[in-house]
Structure 1
């Protein structure tokens, strides 16, 4: 039935278009998940690809070596990656800012080295023949069904972000991001909320990793190298860090454009780096972030006044436990 559906839709949409849209959906999940950590909680990470890889390898190993069905190894990847994120987030309790960036970079290099040199993870040859997800005998490897699966989880990730941003957890993260000393002074448990951010962010990235592994069918360590962490962070900053719309826009533009414009594919990392520098210099709020020229223009066109965020102290006093 699924194959028949895919064949029928090829008349209107090519397999390549489905693949690009699926990849974009996976990177939307990654950008949204990093935005929870960096945008909401203010913990800048250059190691997010490590959690992406941990989720991918966990899901693949549970499927290939232990015979888990997709739905079980998918949940297992989320849980194990979330637990790993809570442990690897411990350095954030002792270091800040530039030192935290260096620490997360180190985590990324260590995780990739483990994938590459430990035989249990397939070594440099990686893992192959990862089975496609199936439900009631229907395969979800490619085409519209897998596209819907990926974007459904992307929507769930957005819902989680939206919900957290409007609870006392989001208010506490806002306070920690603005001023950790002020947050601690008004009773916010700074270490606890940092770990919350690392755990949730990592868990969602792990889900993206599981979806990636089952879609591609093979995994290799270098896929999750440090440069991929830069790509994910670029998407968040380019779109608008700390907003619910920015990471989505950033991921769609920065993932789809190189795929559609193959001529720039070999230069994409250079482009990402240049964009990071330019955005930080001239448009630090992102192209559609709060306070950006585009967002203010859209609000004026819609007749709405620009939104103002509450102060950290007020947010903490109103919502923090």
Structure 2
């Protein structure tokens, strides 16, 4: 089957799915819980480096390495999410940006991460003695993505999701309704980090070589742009935003437009993302599929549930 499909096109879809999983995690943090994060690439890198180190230096089975990488990312993400308890909005964005830069600097200078040289010879995944490459790896990631979408959908439709959305609209209202904002803020960073950690681990075992350059601020900005443009607090918004903005530069590579200098494609891409962000913020702040005016609906719904249960708290 691998011989039938062009490996180049398969790789495009593989990396697209990795970005979708990464975007789902960020949309939980920023879209559903309203915690602005400019350091999501740090969680992505923690998952990638953790799995790479465990599988190359500790000789751990790659599947176990991925599992432990996700757990490690969850723990670190929860810890790094603690500043969200003290700062919010613009200040939280600056704080997460700073943490992301610190973690990238650690990747670039620590001996355990290979420093500026990174980590190579990361083992590829195999199942029942068969290496997962090209189409088989694509199928694996499709399964991972579908599970990720299902989990996000179930969470956001549950009491946890409703609590996140009230926190997003107004911290004070959430606290007055008995929602434990401390718990839910740390929880969303942990779960969003789990998605980023999984994306990073699968990314590392796909490319078999990673360096700090793969987890810089530009990745955080790109993912945030995709999520915002697609729609905050919307799964299909994440799918749409990531797909359109990831595939658009690939079209320029595919068709080789004469008016585009391919050497500067990355620069053009960031300029395009920035322009789209400005336009979206002006005309549709919640994105194409973002839900508008959710505050009153959520608060009214939660008050009804509270009175129906005789004053029982949401959390």
Give me the TM-score of the superposition, normalised by structure 1. Answer: 0.89
Q: Show the counterpart of 1:73.
A: 65
Q: 2:198 aligns with which of 202, 207, 210?
A: 207
Gaps of 5+ in 1: 293-306
Q: Show the counterpart of 1:6.
A: 2
Q: Show the counterpart of 2:41.
A: 49
Q: Show the counterpart of 1:310.
A: 297
Contact 1:174–1:315 under 8 Å retained in 2: no
Q: Show the counterpart of 2:92.
A: 100
CA distance in 1, matches of 2:292, 2:84: 28
The structural deviation recorded for 1:260 is 2.4
CA distance in 2, matches of 1:278, 1:309: 26
Q: 1:110 aligns with which of 88, 92, 102?
A: 102
Q: Show the counterpart of 1:295.
A: none
Structure 1 residue 120 corresponds to structure 2 residue 121: no
Give SS of 1:245's match.
helix
The structural deviation recorded for 1:312 is 2.4
CA distance in 1, matches of 2:164, 2:12: 34
Contact 1:188–1:316 under 8 Å retained in 2: no
Q: Show the counterpart of 2:128.
A: 136
The structural deviation recorded for 1:223 is 0.8
Contact 1:28–1:248 under 8 Å retained in 2: yes
CA distance in 2, matches of 1:242, 1:316: 21
The structural deviation recorded for 1:177 is 0.5
Contact 2:51–2:66 under 8 Å retained in 1: yes
- Assess, with a 3 A threshold, how the Cα gap between structure 1 residues 68 and 124 changes in structure 2: closer, same or farther: same
Structure 1 residue 30 corresponds to structure 2 residue 27: no
RMSD across aligned C-alpha pairs, in angstroms?
1.7
- Assess, with a 3 A threshold, how the Cα gap between structure 1 residues 14 and 181 changes in structure 2: closer, same or farther: same
The structural deviation recorded for 1:291 is 5.2
Q: Deviations over 1:21-74 (max 9, x none)?
A: 001000000111100111111101000000000000000001001111121011
Give SS of 1:130's match.
coil
Q: Show the counterpart of 1:298.
A: none
CA distance in 2, matches of 1:75, 1:316: 39
Give SS of 1:256's match.
helix
> When the two structures are aligned, how many residues end up with a matched partner?
298
Q: How does 1:186-197 map to 2 (within 5 A)?
A: 186-197=177-188
Q: Show the counterpart of 2:52.
A: 60
CA distance in 2, matches of 1:134, 1:317: 51
The structural deviation recorded for 1:196 is 0.5
The structural deviation recorded for 1:308 is 10
Q: Show the counterpart of 1:217.
A: 208
* Structure 1 residue runs of 4 or more that deviate by more than 2 Å after TM superposition: 262-266, 287-292, 307-319
